[in-house]
Every structure is written in structure tokens, then in C-alpha cells.
Amino acid sequence: MKICLSSYAARCRISVMSCDILDHVEDEIRSNKARVTLQLVESTDVLNCTYLFVYCRYKHAVELKD
């Protein structure tokens, strides 16, 4: 099944999903008063564009989540 979306609609949908995931992760961390480990990685691609990656690890219930 193929669904055609305008670039604006795709951007809006991605933004909504991103906010939803962020809210979910924040709720998990706050509800458990979890300790959080952060790792920051800076990288540059062949076009000299710089990217910053942030990895977060925390314990939720009995499992570790990234």
C-alpha cells in the first residue's frame, strides 16, 4: 500500500510522532526517578555537515532502555 504525502504533511506527522515519543520517555524517567546516562557523539559527514547524536540509557521496571 502506497500513501502519497506532501512534504509539509510528512514533516507535521514526523513532528507529532517525535513529540509523542519524547513525552513517553520523559514520563518513564520521571515516574521511576530513574538515573540517566547520557552519551554525546559529534560527527561530520563528507559534505562537512556536523551532527550531534544524544544517546540516553535508563532503567524502566527491570529492563534497561536506550
Give the integer Cα–Cα distance in Å for 42 and 36: 20
Residues 6+ away with beta carbon under 8 Å from 35 = 58, 59
Tell whether the model's pLDDT for residue 3 goes beyond 80. no
**pLDDT on residue 34:** 67
Instruction: Tell me the three cell numbers of residue 2.
Output: 502506497
* Neighbouring-strand partners of residue 53: 41
- DSSP, res 62: T
Which of the two residues, 2 and 57, has the higher pLDDT score? 57
- What is this structure's pTM? 0.59
**pLDDT on residue 5:** 74
The 10s digit of each residue's pLDDT in 7-52 is 888 889 899 999 999 898 888 888 777 688 889 999 999 999 999 9
**pLDDT on residue 66:** 82
Phi, psi of 52 (to 5 degrees): -120, 120
